[in-house]
Structure 1
Amino acid sequence: MPSNGHSETRERGLLSPEVVFERLPGVVYVTDTADRLLAWNDGFAAFTGYDDDALASMERSDVLRSTTADHADGDETTVHGTVRTASGEEVSCEYTERQLTDEAGIVVGRCGVVHPLDVPSESAPSTQHDGTRGFESAVASIPDVALVHLTSTGGILTWNEGARRLHGYRPDEILGQHVSVLYTPDDVDAGVPDRLLAEAETDGHAEAEGWCVRKDGSSFWATVGLTPVSDDQGRHGGFTLLLRDSTFQHEQAIRLRRQQDELEALNLLSDLVRTLVRHVAEGSTQESIEQVVCQRLAGADRYLSAVVVELELDGERLTSRVSAGDDGAHDAITQAARDSGLAMSTGEVFRTNHSLAPVAFSTDSEVPDSVRRVAADYGVSAALAVPLSFGDTVYAVLVVYSADSMAFTEREQSGFEVLGRTVGFAMNASQNLALLFADSLVELEFRSTDRSSFFVDLSIRYACTCRLDGQVLAADDRLLQYVTVTGVDPTTVLELAEAREEFQAVRLVTAEEDSCLLEIAVSISGLKRLLDVGAYVRSAVIEDGVATIVADIAKGQNVRSVVRAFQSVYPDSTLVSKRDYDRPTHTVSEFRQQLAGNLTDRQRAALRTAYLAGYFDWPRGSTAEEVATAMDISSATLHYHLRRAQYELIEMYLNEGDG
C-alpha cells in the first residue's frame, strides 16, 4: 500500500493488512490527526489522478473539500463535497469517515470512503463486482458488515470495527482463533467452515448463507463471501472474509414465502370447494367426496397427509374412515397424545362442532416431549382438526398434518372452516339423493326414554299417546311437526307446549274432547337431527314414557353418524334394531288403478269435469258455480266431491313417496 512511513510486510507467507487495503475496490484513504494522508488504495490514486509521491505530501483538504455541513452519526461522519483531481476538475462526491483508535482508545486518525456522484469516465475507479459499495461500507466499519483477513487454514488475522460490532468480540479476544468460532455448532459439526475455505481456494470465491453466532451466544442470519488472496509471486496467502448481517432480508424472504404459501393454500381450498359443488351435482357418494378432499390436500406441497375420522357409538373411540398420504403418523400421534393427556382430542370437535386451535408440535410449549418426539419421527410439525358438518350435525372430522410449523394461519383456518361446512353440505346432499333414489333401504328403530323430550314427559304425566302424523322442513330451516295427542285435554296440551322454550311456535290445528292435532315449529329436535343426516322418519309413537321412532336410510349410509346425531339431542336413547329391505316399486298403471279404486264415481266425475273445464288453471277457465251447473249439482256438493278426491290423490302421493 502506498503510504507515508509504511512499507509492505509479509509474515508467514501471507499478505499483510496493508496489501489487502491497497487492493480494496473503490476509493479509500486514511489520514492522521493532522489531516495528512497516510495511506490510500489504488482506487483513490486512480480517481484523483495523483501519483503516490504527490499524495504522500498532501493533506486531505488538498483533495477533498466539503460543500455542506457534516452529518455525524456517533464516530462516523458523512460529508457532501467535491474532489479536486490532478487535472484541476471538481468532481461532486460524498465521503464518509470513521475515527481510528489505538489499543488504548486514543484517536490516531480517520479512515474514509469516497462515493463519487459525478464520475468522469477517464478517472472512474475500477470495480470488481456489484458488491463494491457494500465492500466500501465494510471498510468504513458499517455495523452490519465484517471484513476479516484469514490465514490459509482459516485462522483470524485481522478484525475490523464492523466485525467487533457484529460479533461482539474485541480483537484481543478473537485474533488467532479459527473462523469456525463464528459458526453454529451444528454447522461446525457438518464441516461448513472448512468446506467454504476449500471451495474458495478451488473456485476462486465462495458464498453461503446461514446462521452465525455472536460472543453472547445469540445468532443472526449472515451472507458470507470468501475470496482467496495471493502475494506478488502468486502464492496462496490466505482469505478475505466478507460477512454481512442479512437477518432483516432473511426474515422478509421468509414472510414473503409464507404469504405465497398461504395464498397457494387458500387457492387450493377455494378450488376444492368448487370441486365439491360439482360432485354434489354429479351425485357422488359420501366416501368419494371424502377421498377427493383427502387426496387433494395430501397432494399439495404444504400438507403431508389428511385423515377423515368418525366417532364410534360409544362416543369415545375414533376410527379413521378415509386417508391420503398417511404413513401411520395419525395413529401414532393420536396414541401419544392420549397417553400423555394432551388436550387435542378430536372427539372435542364432534362435541362442540368447532375446529381445534392448530397444534404446533415443534414450537408449542404445552406439547409434551413424548408427543413432540413422535411427531418429529414422522416429520410432522403442525396439525389442524376441522368438523365436517351441516347445521348442527357433525358427520366426521378432517385432520390435516403439515411439515411446516407456521402452517394453518388465521386466514387458512377460515378457509378450512368453509371447506368443512361445504363437505358437510355435500355429504347431506349425497345422503338425501341416495335415499330418494335407492332401491334398497335400511330401517332403523330407535327407543328413547329421555324426559327432556316434551312428548315423552307428556306421556308419563298424563298417560296419553302421541303419534307423529308427519313433518315438513320449512324454508327458514325450522321443522314443522304435526302430532296427534290422545288421552288428555287439548287445552292442557297447548298450554304446556307453549311454555316450552325449544318450540318456536305452537298451534292447535284441531281439538276434540280428549285429543288434538298439534302443529309445532322447532329448530332443534331428535327428529330434525335425523333429517339433517339424510334419514327419513317413517313413524314416531310415544306412550308410557317410551318413544319408538322408525327411520329409513339409504343402504351404505353410515349408521354410526345417524345414531350419533339422534343421541346428540336425546342421550338416553338406543338403536334397538336394524334391517335391510327393498323399496316396493309401483308402476304408473298400478298407481292409477289404486287411485281409481279409492274414488267414488261422483268424485271421479267432479275431478275430471273441473279439470277439463279449466277450474284448476290460473286464471280459472271456469268457476265452481259454472262447473256445478254443467254437472247439474249444487256448488256445495261439487266442493265436497273435489275436496275428497284431492285428499285421496294427495294422500296416495305422499304415502307413495314414503314407501
Structure 2
Amino acid sequence: MNAIIALSIGLRLLGVGYSILLLARTRDRRFGFLTLLFSFMTLRQLLTVQTASTGLEELPGLVVSVLTLLTVYYLSEYVTEENALKTELRAVNERLRSFQKAIEHAGHAIFLTDSDGTIEYANPAVESVTGYDREEVIGETPRLWQSGKHGDDFYAELWGQITSGSVWEGELTNRRKSGELLWIDATIAPITEDGDVNRYVAIERDITERKEREMRIEDQNGRLTVLNNTNEVLRDINRELVAASTRDEIEATVCEQFASSDLFDVAWIGSRGLVDGTVSPHSWAGSDLGSLENHIEAMCNTDPTPVEQALEGQDPVFTDVEDDRLQTVGKKRCVVVPLAYQDAEYGVLGVVTSNPNAFDLIERDVFVELGQTIADAISAVESKQTLISNSVTELEFRLTGIDEPLANMAAQLDCTVTLEHVVDDGDEEQVQYVTVTEPDPEVVIEYAAEADFIDTIEHVYTHEEQALFQLSINERSVVTTFAQYGASIESFSITGTTGRLVAQVASSNDIRSVVNALRTTYDGLTLIAQREREQDIQTEAVFRKQLTAALTERQREAARTAHFSGFFDWPREHSGEEVASMMDISQTTFTQHLRAAEKKLFEALFDRTVAT
C-alpha cells in the first residue's frame, strides 16, 4: 500500500467520523448523506488497494477526498450560521407575535393606513371606540366617523403636519356608528422609508367620560359664578331695602343693583294701567326711558302678555327679547317677576340679560322670593308712611256686591254688619270684632258654622238690637287687602249688598296706584270721595299725656295704687279689698274707679282706627 492510497483512506475515514459527529450534533440530514458518501468512498478505496499498481492512479481519489472533507467543513459552518439565523428569526417572530397580541388586546383603537389615509389594518378596539367592526373600516378612511365639529382648516393643518414627517397629537370630536358624539385623544405618526412617508399609524383613546366630567365641572363653575353674582345682587338688594324709607327708594335701589351687576343689563319696575292694561315703567336703570318703553311695547305684543301671565299666575315668566331697541348687544332674555305680598300687587320687576343661560342657572323660586321680598318692603314702608305721616288722604268707597267675607254675611242674612276692630297676629287667620244688627245671635252663629271662610265665632254680648261677635277669618278680606296697600280703615259698614268704607293713606304714597289696585281686586268698589286731612302724630309721650288728662285724680290714684301693690300680678299680692283699704275707700268705689280708668285706656288703644 503506497502512501497516496493510505492518505486517501485516512481522509475518507476522517470524513466519515466528522460527518457522524456533525450529524449527531446538528441532526441535519445533509450530514447523514455525507456520512454515507464517505463510507462508500472508503469502501471503494479499500476494495481497490490490492488491484492498484501505482499510487499515481489514486491521486484523483485523494483530491476528491480532500474536496469532500472540505465540503463537510464548509457545510458545518453554513449549518451553524443557518441555525443562528433561525434562532434569531424565531426570536424576531416571537417579538412580532407579542407585539401583534399587544396591539390586538390594546384598549385603544390602533389602525394603519396607506399614504392616502385608506385603512389597511385595525385592531379590535376600533369597534369599542368607533362602533364599527374592524372589517367595516378596512378599506375606508377615518372620514367615516368624522362628526363635522372640526372645519376644513383644522384637518388641513393636521395633514400638513403628518405629511411633513411630524407626529400630530390632539383631541378630536368624532361620531360613533350609533350617531352619538365622542371625544378622543389621538396620536397620528407617519411611517417613513428612505425619507418618504408611505404609511400612517394612528392611536385613538376614548376620553368621552373625562370630557363630560370636565364639562360638568365647567358647568358647575359657571353655575357657581352666576349664583355668586346673583347672591351678591340679592344681598345688596336686601341690605338696601332695610335702609329704604319710601317706595321710590326701594324701586330705584332694586333696579340699580341689577343693572350694576355684570350678569344683568337692564332692570325696571312698572305696573299695568287699569283701563287698557298698558305697562308703564316708573323706575329703571341700564337704559333710557324711550328705549325701555319701546322694549316693553315689543315684549307685550303677545296675548297674554308676559306681564299679565306673571301677575295672574303669580309666577315669574321668562321670555326672549327680539327687538334691538335696548342699549344692549346681542340676543337678550328677560324675566318678569310679579311683586305681590299677601295677594296685594305692586307691579312687576323686569330684568334683561345678554347671557342666554343666566336665568337657566337661577332657580325660579329665587325670583319668586325676591318678588315677595320687594313687595313686602313696599307694603311695610307704605303702612309706616300712613301711620307716621302728618298729612293723610282719606278715601271713601261705596261697596256694591263685593265678594268679601263680611259683605257675604250681610247679603246672606240681609242685615247690617259693622267692623269694630281687627287683630292680626301675623298668622294666616285674622280675628275681627263685628257688630251685627237685627238677626238673633243664634242665626249668625248658625250661618258662621256653614261658612267656609269662618273658622270660629264667639258671641261676646248683645245690646239692644246689636250683637258683638268675635270672628276668626281664614281667607282674604277687604280689611287685609287695604292693609296690604298701606291703608288704615277708619270705618267699614255694609247693609245687605251695599256699604261704605273709609280709609286713610299717607299722602306721600302713590294714591292712584293704591286705588287702581283695590278697584282691580274688587269690582264692586267705587271711590266716591277723596279728602286731604292733617292728623296728629301720637308719640308715646303724647299718648301718656292725653291718657293722663283723660283720667280723673281718683282714677289715676286707683290705677297707680293697684299697679304698685301687685293687684295685677298673678297670683295677686293684694286683693281689691286690701287696695281699697290702702286708699281708705270702699271696695265698690275702688272697683268703679279702676274700671273707668281701664275703659279709657282701652278706648285710647283700640278706638283710634278700626284696622291698620
* Range into which the TM-score falls when normalised by the shorter chain: 0.5 to 0.7
Are the counterparts in 1 of residues 489 and 609 from structure 2 also a CA contact under 8 Å?
no
Give CA-to-partner distance per residue, 1:600-634, whole Å, 9 cap, x none: 44434433443454544666554321221233332
Residue 57 of structure 1: which of 79, 89, 92 is its match? 89
Residue 520 in structure 1 maps to residue 520 in structure 2: no
Which residue of structure 2 aligns with residue 74 of structure 1?
A: none
- Superposition map of 1:376-455 within 5 A: 379-380=330-331, 383-403=334-354, 407-408=358-359, 412-455=363-406
Match of 2:274 in 1: 313
CA distance in 1, matches of 2:240, 2:570: 38
How far is the alpha carbon of 1:640 from its aligned partner? 1.8
Matched, 1:501 2:452: yes
Deviations 1:136-158 (A, max 9, x none): x453x4xxxxx8788xxxx8676
How far did 1:473 drift? 0.3
Alpha carbons of structure 1 residues 641 and 545: separation in structure 2 relative to 1, 3 Å: same
Alpha-carbon distance in 2 for matches of 1:221, 1:296: 43
Quick one: structure 1 residues 307 and 171, their matched pair in 2 at CA, closer, same or farther if it must change by over 3 Å?
Answer: farther
Aligned to 2:17: none
8 A Cα contact 1:386 1:416, kept in partner:
yes
- Per-residue CA deviation, residues 50-95 of structure 1 (Å, 9 max, x unaligned), is xxx9999346653378xxxxxxxxxxxxxxxxx7xxxxxxxxx995
Structure 2 CA distance for partners of 1:540 and 1:220, relative to 1, 3 Å: same
CA RMSD across the alignment: 5.1
Contact 1:307 1:400 in 2 (8 A): yes
Between the aligned partners of 2:261 and 2:86, the Cα distance in structure 1 is 68
**C-alpha distance in structure 2 between counterparts of 1:241 and 1:409, whole Å:** 41
Matched AA of 1:571: D
Aligned equivalents of 2:199 and 2:528: distance in 1?
87
Amino acid at match of 2:342: G
Q: Which residue in 1 is equivalent to 2:6? A: none
Which structure: greater helix fraction? 2
Q: 1:316 and 1:234, CA in 2 relative to 1: closer, same or farther beyond 3 A?
A: farther
How far apart, CA to CA, are the structure 1 residues paired with 2:365 and 2:276?
27
CA shift at 1:641, angstroms?
1.5
Shift of 1:563: 4.0
In structure 1, the residue matched to 2:102 is: 96
- Give the Å deviation of 1:174: 5.4
Contact preservation (8 Å) 1:448, 1:574: yes
2:503 to 551, 558, 572: 551
Would you say the 8 A contact 1:228–1:240 is kept in 2? yes
Q: Show the counterpart of 2:586.
A: 634
Q: Which residue number corresponds to residue 90 of structure 1?
A: none
Q: Distance in 1 between matches of 2:403 and 2:211?
A: 60
Residue among 285, 291, 312 paired with 1:351: 312
Q: Distance in 2 between matches of 1:311 and 1:240?
A: 70
- Indicate the residue corresponding to 1:254 in structure 2: 215
Aligned equivalent of 2:481:
529
How many residues are aligned here? 518
For residues 398 and 640 of structure 1, do their structure 2 counterparts lie closer, same or farther at Cα, with a shift above 3 Å needed? same
Structure with the greater alpha carbon radius of gyration? 2
- Provide the rounded CA distance (Å) in 1 between the counterparts of 2:402 and 2:306: 30
CA contact (8 A) 1:487 1:514 kept: yes
Secondary structure of 2:472 counterpart: strand
CA deviations on 1:120-139 (whole Å, 9 max, x unpaired) are xxxxxxxxxxxxxx9xx453
1:559-585 Cα distance to aligned partner (Å, 9 max, x none): 466446545653332344445544324
Deviations along 1:15-68, one digit per CA (max 9) or x if unpaired, are xxxxxxxxxxxxxxxxxxxxxxxxxxxxxxxxxxxxxx9999346653378xxx
Trace 1:565-644 onto structure 2 (pairs within 5 A). Answer: 566-567=518-519, 570-585=522-537, 594-595=546-547, 597-611=549-563, 613-616=565-568, 620=572, 622-644=574-596
Instruction: Give, in whole Å, the separation in 1 of the partners of 2:256 and 2:190.
Output: 56
Structure 2 spans left out of the alignment, 5+ residues = 1-84
**Structure in which a larger fraction of residues adopt strand:** 1
Query: What is the DSSP-based 3-state SS (H/G/I as helix, E as strand, rest coil) of the residue aligned with 1:469?
Result: strand
* Cα displacement (A) at 1:353: 2.3
Q: Are 1:466 and 2:417 an aligned pair?
A: yes
Go from structure 1 to structure 2 and tell me whether the alpha carbon gap of 1:601 and 1:335 turns closer, same or farther (over 3 Å shift).
closer
Question: How far did 1:454 drift?
Answer: 4.7
Q: Deviations over 1:374-413 (max 9, x none)?
A: 99x9644655444343333343434445555555459722
Q: Where in structure 2 are the equivalents of 1:97-116 lying within 5 Å?
A: 97-98=103-104
Structure 2 Cα separation of the partners of residues 491 and 531 of structure 1: 31
Contact 1:340–1:371 (CA<8 Å) still a contact in 2?
no
Q: What do the CA deviations read for 1:235-280 (whole angstroms, capped 9, x no partner)?
A: 9999998877655444333322222333444445555555555445
Name the SS for the 1:97 alignment partner. Answer: helix
CA distance in 2, matches of 1:288, 1:457: 39
The structure with higher relative contact order (CA 8 Å, sep 6+) is: 2
Measure the CA separation in 1 of the matches of 2:251 and 2:199: 63
**C-alpha distance 544-412 of structure 1, shift in aligned 2 (>3 A):** closer
- Which AA in structure 1 matches 2:603? E
CA distance in 2, matches of 1:215, 1:513: 92
Contact 2:415 2:439 in 1 (8 A): yes
Judge conservation of contact 1:199–1:205 (CA < 8 Å) in 2: yes
Please give the per-residue CA displacement for 1:86-113, whole angstroms capped at 9, x wherever unaligned. xxxxxxx995334xxxxxxxxxxxxx87
TM-score between both structures, scaled by the size of structure 1: 0.62
Which has the larger displacement, 311-320 or 326-335?
326-335
8 Å contact 2:417–2:494 — kept in the other structure? Answer: yes
Following superposition of structure 1 onto structure 2, how do residues 161-172 of structure 1 map, counting pairs within 5 Å? 161=122, 166=130
Q: Which amino acid aligns with 1:347?
A: E
* SS of residue paired to 1:485: strand
Q: 440-449 or 296-305, which moves further after superposition?
A: 296-305
Task: Tell me how far apart the structure 1 counterparts of residues 156 and 172 of structure 2 sit (CA, whole Å).
Answer: 15
Query: Residues 654 and 455 from structure 1, CA distance in 2 versus in 1: closer, same or farther, beyond 3 angstroms?
Result: closer
**Structure 2 residue aligned with 1:144:** none
Aligned-residue offset at 1:525: 0.8
Cα distance change, pair 634–619 in 1 and its aligned pair in 2 (3 A): same
Q: Distance in 2 between matches of 1:55 and 1:299?
A: 81
Maintained 8 Å contact 2:171/2:185: yes
Q: Is the 8 A contact 2:407 2:497 kept in 1?
A: yes
Shift of 1:449: 1.0
SS of the equivalent of 2:394 reads strand
For the residues of structure 1 that align with 2:220 and 2:226, how far apart are their CA atoms? 10
Change (3 A) 1:317 1:340: closer
8 A contact 2:244–2:250 mirrored in 1: no
**For the Cα contact (< 8 Å) 1:490–1:512, is it kept in 2?**
no
The DSSP-based 3-state class of the residue aligned with 2:311 is: helix
**Match of 2:577, SS?**
helix
- Structure 1 residues 617, 257: closer, same or farther in 2, change over 3 A? same
Shift of 1:213: 7.0
Query: 1:545 & 1:624 partners in 2: Cα distance?
Result: 49
Amino acid at match of 1:63: R
**Within 1, Cα distance between the matches of 2:329 and 2:542?**
63
The equivalent position to 2:434 in structure 1, one of 483, 487, 511, is 483
Separation in structure 2 between the aligned mates of residue 557 and residue 585 of structure 1, nearest angstrom: 17
1:148–1:242 Cα contact (<8 Å) kept: no
Structure 2 Cα separation of the partners of residues 56 and 444 of structure 1 = 112
User: Is 1:492 matched up with 2:443?
Assistant: yes
Q: 1:526, CA displacement in angstroms?
A: 1.7
Structure 1 residue 487, shift from structure 2 partner: 4.6
